[in-house]
């Protein structure tokens, strides 16, 4: 399965997921999603804006931020808080497509920048347990693990 194929699959699933929820993946939003998916690493909003301007000269910061907000809301992308950058959700459509906000974690390589989304239930459960012990009602957890990826270690 080629990269392009997985991208097309992801886009189709995104359309479907939005439809199910009564949300609209407009051409603009779809284009921003494509730009995020095309990048091979997390992308900043202004990098997206630059690329967007190639085909949409009038684009401005709110253009891209509004699209990003929508995509975040729909769970189609995630924000990496440490990097102020955005990345496509790897799990969208693979198991819990209808979950807007599934628990997830990121592995961020400081050497090559590669960023991998994982869904580790051990981590998720440990966080739930810690919150429960503190009498804290968990809404969402940000987990960003920085270090060196397997490729860079080899």
Partner DNA sequence: TGCACTCTGAGATATTATATCATCGAGCGA
Partner DNA sequence: TCGCTCGATGATATAATATCTCAGAGTGCA
Q: Which does 16 bind (CB under 5 to 8 A by kind): a second copy, DNA, Zn ion, none?
A: none
d(CA 23, CA 40): 27
Angle at 86 between CA 81 and CA 89, to 5 degrees: 105
Footprint on residues 7-36 left by a second copy (CB under 8 A): none
CA distances (Å), 121 to each of 47, 113, 150, in order? 33, 24, 21
Among 61-69, 107-115, 118-126, 134-142, the segment contacting DNA (CB under 7 A): 61-69
Footprint on residues 76-95 left by a second copy (CB under 8 A): 81-82
C-alpha atoms less than 13 angstroms from C-alpha of 97 in its C-beta half-sphere: 15
Spatial contact of 47 and 59, defined as CB atoms under 8 Å apart? no
Footprint on residues 99-138 left by a second copy (CB under 8 A): 105, 107, 109-110, 116, 118, 120, 122-123, 125-127, 129-131, 133-138
**Which residues of this protein are in contact with a second copy, per CB under 8 A?**
81-82, 105, 107, 109-110, 116, 118, 120, 122-123, 125-127, 129-131, 133-150, 153
Annotated binding site: 101, 109, 112, 149, 152
């Amino acid at each position: 399965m080629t990269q392009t194929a997985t991208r097309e699959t992801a886009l189709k699933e995104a359309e479907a997921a939005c439809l199910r929820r009564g949300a609209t993946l407009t051409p603009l939003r779809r284009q921003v999603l494509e730009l995020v998916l095309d990048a091979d690493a997390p992308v900043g909003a202004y990098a997206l804006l630059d690329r967007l301007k190639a085909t949409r000269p009038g684009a401005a910061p709110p253009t891209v931020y509004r699209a990003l907000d929508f995509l975040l809301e729909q769970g189609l992308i995630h924000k990496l808080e440490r990097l102020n950058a955005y990345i496509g959700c790897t799990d969208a459509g693979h198991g819990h497509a209808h979950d807007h906000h599934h628990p997830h974690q990121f592995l961020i390589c400081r050497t090559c920048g590669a960023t991998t989304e994982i869904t580790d239930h051990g981590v998720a459960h440990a966080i739930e347990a810690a919150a429960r012990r503190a009498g804290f009602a968990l809404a969402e957890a940000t987990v960003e693990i920085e270090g060196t990826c397997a490729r860079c270690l080899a």
